């Protein structure tokens, strides 16, 4: 029926139909809302350092163009396929709509383990991927950003490649760039800062202070690391952490500044400690106040949903919780869920600020960026909680219902062409 196969797209589809049932969206409207407008697949050949040629598969899925350009990250990871980036593009649409951004969702990526590439090979692949995408992207068509396995440097290469082909500098073609080439202050920190801000609001609703609370974070890339730093600043004790190379636990609290220094020097958590090493399979089940999955999709399935032992589940990753797990969480009334499309929206919100600043060539200071970020998050948080109470539904259903309804209203207003 479609090219969007695999467990991650199945998950996005199941979630969407639950929301469509809740909103009583007629059957004949659903495919138009769910299925992406466009999908692009490209082969990206590069010269390896050993003189051979290697070809990597790249994708970009643009979910809907009803509200403006599409927006979303580019992922360099072995898991990347059309189904995965398709699901991530769909989630970006609901996320942007929930935050009130004038974008549809997109996501792209290359099927590659970036840790196996030298810096020169990574640059060659980044530039070739963007070069292959030039006919399909643009500041008013589709605006890329970082995601798993990409960073500010990759965005700078994307921007440079696009600009060289245009014959002029086009900063607004990607967000998440270094500040020196049109990036905004506060973008690199935005997702993690947003997670910590929302965790504070959630704990406030539970009548709990953040200071002295305990946290466990799965994933120590940009999002996990900045979340750790932001929670640490608020007096939270990090008792468990992992990335793809190591897992550590300490009930007395891990030294977050030391972890951050280690990762900035060595690139990953491995080698930080031998005494504190812990079983990564048990990390998510550690008793804590704040549990932050900040890595991959589908890490909390129905079995793990029974076992997690936290007060706030802060979904910094995209799609960490499966629909089966949602059914378990709906029955467990003891966990306050910050659903992914709310919890990690800080990244794309500040990406929007970056795009606006680039278009206007008028740059803001960091206090202004953060102040505006928190205002947008506070509005979305309040809207989700109000909707959940009003409709008697979970926070995820409320968040997704707001996002889906906004996209649907826009499609109905614009009509079906011709």
Q: Which is nearer to ligand GLU, 104 or 323 (CB)?
A: 104
What is the distance between the alpha carbons of residues 227 and 223, in angstroms, rounded to a whole number?
Answer: 6
Q: Which is nearer to ligand GLU, 285 or 299 (CB)?
A: 299
Per CB under 6 A, contacts with ligand GLU among 134-153 are 145, 147
* Binding pattern for the stretch 211-250 against ligand GLU, x by CB under 6 A and - elsewhere: ----------------------------------------
Q: Tokens at residue 167, please? A: 């014959």
Query: Which residues are the active-site residues?
Result: 107
* Binding pattern for the stretch 157-196 against ligand GLU, x by CB under 6 A and - elsewhere: ------------------xx--------------------
Query: Measured between alpha carbons, how far is residue 130 from residues 135, 235, 395 in Å?
Result: 10, 42, 37
Site for ligand GLU contains 358 (CB under 6 A): no
Q: Tokens at residue 26, please? A: 């007629």
Q: Which is nearer to ligand GLU, 214 or 318 (CB)?
A: 318
Q: How far is the CB of 88 from ligand GLU (least distance, A)?
A: 7
What is the distance between the alpha carbons of residues 250 and 26, in angstroms, rounded to a whole number?
Answer: 51
What is the distance between the alpha carbons of residues 342 and 112, in angstroms, rounded to a whole number?
Answer: 28
Beta carbons of 221 and 329 less than 8 angstroms apart: no
Indicate the DSSP class of residue 170.
-
* Burial annotation 317-343 (CB, 10 A radius, 16+ → b, else e): bbbbbbbbbbebbeeeeeebbbbbbbb
Query: Measured between alpha carbons, how far is residue 325 from residues 34, 243, 329 in Å?
Result: 22, 22, 6
Q: Which is nearer to ligand GLU, 4 or 248 (CB)?
A: 4
Q: Which is nearer to ligand GLU, 196 or 348 (CB)?
A: 348
Per CB under 6 A, contacts with ligand GLU among 54-93 are 71-73
One of 347, 358, 370, 404 touching ligand GLU (CB under 6 A): 347
Site for ligand GLU contains 318 (CB under 6 A): yes
Q: Which is nearer to ligand GLU, 328 or 348 (CB)?
A: 348
Q: Which is nearer to ligand GLU, 73 or 104 (CB)?
A: 73
One of 25, 325, 348, 398 touching ligand GLU (CB under 6 A): 348
Reduced to 3 states (helix: H, G, I; strand: E, B; else coil), residue 238 is strand
Residue number, nearest CB to ligand GLU: 73
Beta carbons of 105 and 404 less than 8 angstroms apart: no
What residues contact residue 418 under an 8 Å CB cut-off, 6+ apart?
A: none
One of 126, 351, 357, 370 touching ligand GLU (CB under 6 A): 351
Q: How far is the CB of 283 from ligand GLU (least distance, A)?
A: 22
Site for ligand GLU contains 344 (CB under 6 A): yes
Classify burial at 390, counting beta carbons within 10 Å of its beta carbon; exposed 0-12, middle 13-18, buried 19 or more: exposed
Q: How far is the CB of 42 from ligand GLU (least distance, A)?
A: 19
Q: How far is the CB of 176 from ligand GLU (least distance, A)?
A: 6
Q: How far is the CB of 318 from ligand GLU (least distance, A)?
A: 5
Q: What's the order of all strands across the beta sheet hosting 104-111?
A: 38-47, 53-62, 104-111, 70-77, 142-146
For binding to ligand GLU (CB under 6 A), which residues are involved? Answer: 71-73, 145, 147, 175-176, 318, 344, 347-348, 351
């Amino acid at each position: 029926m479609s090219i969007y196969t695999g467990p991650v797209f199945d998950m996005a589809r199941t979630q969407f139909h639950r929301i469509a049932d809740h909103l009583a969206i007629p059957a004949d409207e659903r495919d138009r809302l769910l299925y992406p407008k466009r999908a692009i697949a490209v082969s990206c050949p590069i010269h390896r350092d050993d003189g051979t040629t290697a070809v990597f598969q790249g994708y970009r899925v643009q979910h809907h163009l009803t509200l403006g350009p599409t927006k979303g990250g580019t992922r360099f990871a072995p898991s990347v396929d059309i189904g995965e980036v398709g699901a991530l593009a769909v989630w970006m649409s609901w996320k942007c709509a929930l935050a009130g951004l004038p974008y549809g969702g997109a996501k792209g990526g290359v099927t590659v383990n970036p840790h196996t590439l030298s810096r020169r090979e990574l640059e060659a692949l980044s530039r070739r991927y963007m070069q292959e995408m030039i006919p399909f992207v643009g500041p008013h068509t589709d605006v890329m950003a970082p995601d798993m396995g990409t960073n500010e440097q990759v965005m700078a290469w994307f921007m440079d490649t696009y600009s060289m082909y245009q014959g002029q500098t086009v900063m607004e073609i990607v967000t998440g760039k270094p500040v020196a080439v049109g990036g905004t202050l506060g973008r690199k920190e935005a997702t993690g800062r947003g997670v910590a801000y929302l965790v504070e609001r959630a704990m406030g609703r539970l009548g709990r202070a953040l200071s002295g609370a305990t946290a466990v974070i799965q994933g120590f890339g940009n999002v996990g690391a900045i979340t750790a730093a932001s929670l640490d600043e608020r007096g939270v004790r990090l008792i468990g952490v992992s990335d793809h190379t190591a897992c550590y636990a300490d009930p007395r609290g891990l030294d977050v500044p030391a972890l951050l220094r280690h990762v900035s020097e060595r690139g990953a958590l491995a080698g930080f400690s031998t005494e504190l090493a812990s079983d990564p399979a048990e990390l998510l089940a550690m008793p804590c106040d704040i549990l932050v999955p900040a890595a991959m999709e589908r890490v909390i399935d129905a079995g793990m949903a029974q076992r997690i032992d936290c007060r706030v589940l802060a979904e910094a990753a995209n799609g960490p919780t499966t629909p089966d797990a949602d059914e378990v969480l709906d029955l467990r009334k003891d966990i306050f869920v910050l659903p992914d499309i709310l919890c990690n929206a800080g990244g794309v919100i500040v990406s929007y600020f970056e795009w606006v600043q680039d278009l206007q060539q008028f740059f803001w200071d960091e206090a202004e960026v953060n102040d505006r970020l928190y205002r947008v998050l506070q509005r979305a948080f309040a809207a989700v909680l109000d909707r959940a109470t009003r409709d008697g539904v979970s926070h995820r259903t409320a968040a997704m219902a707001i996002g889906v309804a906004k996209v649907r209203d826009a499609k109905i207003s614009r009509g079906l062409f011709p």
